[in-house]
Amino acid sequence: MTSATTSTIAHTDVYALALHHRFQWEEAQQNYVILFPEGMVKLHGGAGEVLKRLDGKLSVADVVADLKAAFPDASNIEADIIGMFELAVSKGWLRKL
Amino acid sequence: MTQASLGESVVQKTVHAQQNNGVAASLTHTQPLWLLAEVTYRCPLHCAFCYNPTDYDKHTQNELTTEQWLQALRDARKLGALQLGISGGEPLLRDDIEDIVVEAKKLGYYSNLITSGVGLTEKRIQAFKEGGLDHIQLSMHDITEEINNFITNTKTFELKKKVAAMIKNHGYPMVLNVVIHRYNIGHMREILEMAQALGADYIELANTQYYGWSLVNRSQLMPTKEQVDEAEAITNEFRANPDNKMKIFFVVPDYFSDRPKKCMNGWGEVFMIVTANGDVLPCHSARVLPNMQFPNVRDSGLAYAWQDSPTFNKYRGDAWMKEPCRSCSEKENDLGGCRCQAFLLSGDAEAADPVCSKSPHRHLIDQAIIDSKNPQSVAQPIVFRNDKNSKKILAGELNDRVKAFHALP
């Protein structure tokens, strides 16, 4: 856990999917995707786990806590989660509420 | 139809998103991600740069039925297609787009109507919204009425502005597509400002690529290298301003590059196109290629087309390549470029795309650039995309305009 100190992501922030974006599970591809005008992104396992928890109410800290509980064996999971938020925000997939 | 879906910008994100999908893997594991439904070749506009086939007139009488389209949507979705482009011609000339939209929503597509705006009424856009259409991509042509009306050969300038407002009012993301050519490239800054004033979320600046009608009109449409460089610089300057939130895709014209584009993100890799008459193509202009039998949804399903048809397998991977591509260290970057461009210009569908500086045919591109500055070629009239000219081309009446190419563009 190092990125939080320099990160643009605060633990109290609440994020939701950006407008006109859609997040869904793809059976044919066995992964989550984000769909938006003119493009799409396939998400690998961990990234999908973060995004599917964004219900417009949970804060970043809540998501971290929830994922830690769901994946107790994953090491350094918090840095990964914050990293995912940073990426998703920089790509415009998420908006801050 | 605009050139949006030819633009690499559309697929860059897909490439980025599937780094593991290497060329070799694609031979057995590839899935279509994008279904482009070219539901009709009829069009009220007559754009000089349209990349629909110049012989489209022969495909306007045998369009698929609504039920055939719905079945194609279902089949493609089963194969993995996620993004649906409803395109043409002008798709709104069909009265069943509402049905297609509803089915797309039901199946879980992210659906996109690619339109000139002609035929988009309050009633229809409301039905699309209720039916679950995700976004609308509107073609714009210029900031001036004069150039808009000239290049489309129609009086549609005011209408497009009205339609843009309608799209915005219905809460849709506004995606504008502007095909760039000699007549509007000098207005890049103004075009970007117009898009921003209209509230566009995305704008695609698609430099004309030379297929279909735009190949016939190549000398008349091609800007100079200096104009392209300036346009790109203006675009970058616009992007660098943090106040400008609009996302801009600038599709680089390959003639002025020394490496070809990775056409369609690779043959049979991502895109599956079903044309108005049901032909299934790996790229819009694939019908120019010789000795190919394209699958048709009337005869066989999309699973056969994608997985097993000789056509879709023909240029997958790199086994088909000859020199200089075969041993080229960069071959994975562009997969040898565009098969249609290679054949149209060189007569050899397996040749390196002539755009490549390593291609023995690069001189054909250089000559085209020279021709575009030659007053004699430039003075030839533009052949606008319309039924009359398509019939003329089919009848061989415009042979002097197409004889340099190895197939009808």
Chain-chain contact of A38 with B134 (C-beta, under 8 angstroms): no
- Closest-CA distance, B92 to chain A, in angstroms, reads 19
Report DSSP state, residue B380: S
- Closest-CA distance, A4 to chain B, in angstroms, reads 25
DSSP one-letter string for B281-312: ESSTTGGGSSS----BTTTS-HHIIIII-HHH
pLDDT average per 10 residues of sequence, chain B (409 residues): 35 33 42 96 97 93 96 96 96 98 97 97 98 96 94 94 95 94 96 94 95 97 96 96 90 93 92 97 95 95 95 94 96 96 98 98 97 93 97 96 95
Quick one: average pLDDT of A1-20? 78
pLDDT at position A44: 82
Report DSSP state, residue B382: P
pLDDT at position B311: 95
Residues of chain A with a CB closer than 8 angstroms to some CB in chain B: 19-20, 22, 24, 26, 28-29, 33, 35-42, 92
Candidates A20, A26, A37; nearest CB to B82: A26
Candidates A24, A28, A35; nearest CB to B83: A35
Q: Can you list the positions of beta strands (E) in B167-220?
A: 174-180, 202-207
pLDDT at position A29: 82
pLDDT tens, A31-85? Answer: 899 999 888 898 887 889 999 999 999 999 999 999 999 988 888 889 889 989 9
| Number of cross-chain residue pairs from A and B with Cβ atoms under 8 Å apart | 58
Q: Which residues have C-beta within 8 Å of that of residue B270, sequence separation ≥ 6? A: B11, B14, B32, B33, B34, B264
Query: Which residue does chain B place closest to A38, by CA atoms?
Result: B10
**How crowded is the C-beta side of A55, counted as CA atoms within 13 Å?**
6
Task: With CA atoms as reference, report the closest residue to B309 among B294, B297, B299, B298.
Answer: B294
Chain-chain contact of B17 with A40 (C-beta, under 8 angstroms): yes
Query: Which residue does chain A place closest to B174, by CA atoms?
Result: A37
Q: Which residues have C-beta within 8 Å of that of residue B212, sequence separation ≥ 6? A: B50, B51, B52, B53, B54, B284, B285, B385, B409
pLDDT at position B243: 87
Query: Which residue does chain A place closest to B19, by CA atoms?
Result: A42
Q: Which of the residues A34, A38, A40, A44 would you substitute to probe the B interface, choosing the one with the greatest number of B C-beta atoms within 10 Å?
A: A38
pLDDT at position A2: 45
pLDDT band with cut points at 50, 70 and 90 for residue A6? low
Strand B271-274: give its sheet, edge to edge. Answer: B247-251, B202-207, B174-180, B135-140, B110-115, B83-87, B34-38, B271-274, B280-281
pLDDT at position B6: 30
- Closest-CA distance, A42 to chain B, in angstroms, reads 5
To the nearest 10 degrees (0 to 180), the angle between helices B122-131 and B157-169 is: 40
Chain-chain contact of B10 with A33 (C-beta, under 8 angstroms): no
Query: Which residue does chain B place closest to A18, by CA atoms?
Result: B173
pLDDT at position B403: 94
- Rounded CA gap, B93 and B96, in Å? 9
pTM: 0.90
pLDDT at position B25: 33
Contacts of A32 in chain B (CB under 8 A): none
Q: Which residues have C-beta within 8 Å of that of residue B161, sequence separation ≥ 6? A: B198
Judge if the upstream peptide bond of residue B324 is cis by omega within 30 degrees of 0. yes
B116 vs A3, more confident: B116
